Structure 1
Amino acid sequence: PATKEVPRRLLHPKKKTVGVRIPDNRVVQALLAELGEPLLSSTLLMPDEEDPLTQGWEIKERLDHQVDAVIDAGDCGSEPTTVVDFSSGVAEVVRRGTGDPSRFE
Structure 2
Amino acid sequence: MANYYPVHPVNPQQRSLNQVVTLLRDGGLIAYPTDSGYAFGARLGNREAIDRIRRIRQLNEKHHFTLVLSEFAQVGRYVQMDNWMFRAIKGAVPGRYTFILKATRDVPRVMLHQKKHTVGIRIPDHVTALALMDALGEPIVSSTLILPDEELPMTDGWQVKEALDTELDAVLDSGDCGLDPTTVVDFTSGEPVVTRLGAGDPTPFQ
| TM superposition score category, shorter chain reference | 0.7 to 0.9
How does the TM-score come out when normalised to structure 1?
Answer: 0.73
How does the TM-score come out when normalised to structure 2?
Answer: 0.41
- The answer to which structure, 1 or 2, has the higher relative contact order (CA under 8 A, 6+ apart) is 2
| Counterpart mapping for 1:55-94 below 5 A | 55-87=156-188, 92-94=192-194
Question: Match of 2:123, SS?
Answer: coil
In 2, Cα distance between the equivalents of 1:47 and 1:13?
A: 22
* 8 Å contact from structure 1 (residues 93, 101) kept in 2: no
Q: 1:48 to 1:84 in 2, by over 3 A?
A: closer
In 1, Cα distance between the equivalents of 2:138 and 2:114?
A: 24
In 2, Cα distance between the equivalents of 1:51 and 1:98?
A: 11
Q: 1:29 to 1:91 in 2, by over 3 A?
A: farther
Q: 1:27 to 1:91 in 2, by over 3 A?
A: farther
Given candidates 24, 32, 43, the residue that maps to 2:144 is 43
* 8 Å contact from structure 2 (residues 112, 119) kept in 1: yes
Letter in 2 for 1:87: T
- Return 94-103 or 65-74, whichever deviates more: 94-103
Letter in 1 for 2:116: K
Q: Number of residue pairs matched? A: 103
Match of 2:116 in 1: 15
* Higher strand content, 1 or 2: 2
Question: Match of 1:18, SS?
Answer: strand
In 2, Cα distance between the equivalents of 1:102 and 1:24?
A: 19
In 1, Cα distance between the equivalents of 2:148 and 2:202?
A: 31
Identity of aligned residues (%): 58
